Amino acid sequence: MIGRFEDVIIQTICRLLVPPIQLFALYVIAHGHHSPGGGFQGGCILAASFILLVIAFDLRETKRRMSEKVNIVFCSLGVIIYSGIGLLCILLGSNFLDYGVLHKILPVDPANARSLGILGIEIGVGIAVMAVMVSIFFNIASGGEHEEAEELRE
Amino acid sequence: MKFFAFIVVLITGALLMYATVDMPDWGDSDSPANTHVSPRYLEKTIEETATPNAVTSVLGDYRSYDTLGETTVIFTAGVVCMLLLRRSK
pLDDT at position A154, please? Answer: 47
Tens of pLDDT along A110-119?
Answer: 889 999 999 9
pLDDT, average across residues A135-142? 88
Residue B21 distance to chain A (closest CA, Å): 33
Domain boundary assignment for chain A = 8-153
Q: Do B71 and A78 touch (CB under 8 A)?
A: yes
Q: In this structure, which amino acid lies at residue B58?
A: V
Is B80 within 8 Å of chain A by CB?
no
Kindly report the number of other CB atoms within 10 A of residue A73's CB atom.
13
B28 vs A124: which has the higher pLDDT:
A124
Judge: A139–B74 Cβ closer than 8 Å, yes or no: no
- Return all residues near B28 (Cβ < 8 A) that are at least 6 apart: B34
Surface of B (3-22) touching A: CB under 8 A: none
* A126 reaches B (C-beta below 8 A): no
* Averaged pLDDT, A39-44: 93
Residue-level pLDDT at A50:
92
**Predicted pLDDT of residue A63:** 86
Query: A99 near B61, Cβ under 8 Å?
Result: yes
**Confidence check: pLDDT of A133 > 80:** yes
The whole-number pLDDT of residue A151 equals 52
pLDDT at A59: 83
Distance from CA of A78 to the nearest CA of B (A): 8
Average pLDDT over residues A74-79: 93
Q: Quick one: B20 exposed, middle or buried, by C-beta within 10 A (0-12, 13-18, 19+)?
A: exposed
- pLDDT at residue A150 above 70? no
Share of chain A above pLDDT 90, in %: 50
Q: What is the pLDDT of residue B31?
A: 82
36-65 in A: which are within 8 Å (CB) of B? Answer: 36, 38-40
What are the chain B neighbours of A89 within 8 Å (beta carbons)? none
What would the mean pLDDT of A27-46 be, rounded to a whole number?
Answer: 91
Neighbours of B34 (CB within 10 A): 14
Task: Check whether A148 has a pLDDT greater than 70.
Answer: no
Rg over alpha carbons for chain A, rounded to the nearest Å, is 19
pLDDT at position A6 is 75
* pLDDT over 90 (residue B26): no
Lowest mean pLDDT, pick from A16-25, A140-149, B26-35, B63-72: A140-149
Mean pLDDT of the residues in chain A:
87
Q: How far from each other are the two terminal CA atoms of chain B, in whole angstroms?
A: 48
DSSP state of B24: P
Query: So what's the ipTM on this one?
Result: 0.84
